[in-house]
Amino acid sequence: ESSIMNSNKVCLKADRISFSYDGVHRVPDSVSFELMAGEKAAVLGDSGSGKTTLFYLLLGLWQPDRGTLQGSLLAEGGTVSAITQNVYVFDTTIGELFRRLCPEGSEAVVWQSLELACLGDFVRSCPDGLGYRLGQDGCRLSGGQRQRLLVALAAARALSTGSRLLLLDEPTCGLDRRTGERMLAGLLAAFAGRAMLVITHDEYVAEMFKKKIHL
């Protein structure tokens, strides 16, 4: 990993950030935290506390109404890889989906990402392999397979672009505990030098992170 990833720099600093959809209710409301380069953290909170909104703010899709976002990632223009809720999956093949959303990634990176997402065996079992057609919004996949495919896409982008921050929104949704633990352990090992924020409702996932951010 690069010296930037392994340094003690503050990768990301949120200082009392708030956001409101309606001008009345703020979610998140006055949230502050620091994430060091290479540090991993679980993002926890009740439904409606603004966890996914926080990711949208970090991705720059929206701007906070109050507070500031700072850190080396923003100052130096670092890239971010993410999966968020309500992602649409194109009606195309697995291989074409990777080519569309991660054009920098080689086939080797695609397979490495599928293995990290515990989806490699499934793809190999398909008669068409990477040519397997997903159907509208991934309807030919189970809920767990669809979620793992999104994780694989984020991993492929991180591997091929050198993203210094991964944002994963409920990556273990629809997965049994054994698969979820194996997938997260693989991701934590593969991206040991990169910062990671993981939104989760699963207690066993939260236990895998020393640092926890409560909303």
d(CA 102, CA 42): 26
**What is the average per-residue pLDDT within 18-25?**
90
**What is the average per-residue pLDDT within 81-92?**
88
The whole domain housing 55 covers 1-78+164-215
In this structure, the answer to whether residues 1 and 67 fall within a common structural domain is: yes
**What is the average per-residue pLDDT within 194-206?**
94
Considering the domain boundaries, does residue 196 fall inside one? yes
Per the CB < 8 A criterion, the answer to whether 163 and 81 are in contact is yes
- Percent of the chain's residues with pLDDT above 90: 75
Per the CB < 8 A criterion, the answer to whether 65 and 18 are in contact is yes
d(CA 168, CA 158): 12
Q: What is the pLDDT of residue 87?
A: 86
Under the banding of pLDDT at 50, 70 and 90, the label for residue 131 is: very high
* Residue 186 scores a pLDDT above 70: yes
Q: What is the pLDDT of residue 3?
A: 35
Q: What is the pLDDT of residue 8?
A: 62
* DSSP-assigned states of every residue in 126-157: STTGGG-B--GGGTTS-HHHHHHHHHHHHHHH
Number of domains in the chain: 2
Considering the domain boundaries, does residue 83 fall inside one? no
Of 85-89, 107-111, 175-179, 203-207, the range with the lowest mean pLDDT is 85-89
Q: What is the pLDDT of residue 9?
A: 84
In this structure, the answer to whether residues 48 and 30 fall within a common structural domain is: yes
DSSP letter at 87 equals: -
Is 0.75 topped by the overall pTM?
yes
Under the banding of pLDDT at 50, 70 and 90, the label for residue 75 is: confident
- Higher pLDDT pick, 138 / 4: 138
In this structure, the answer to whether residues 169 and 202 fall within a common structural domain is: yes
In this structure, the answer to whether residues 68 and 171 fall within a common structural domain is: yes
In this structure, the answer to whether residues 202 and 97 fall within a common structural domain is: no
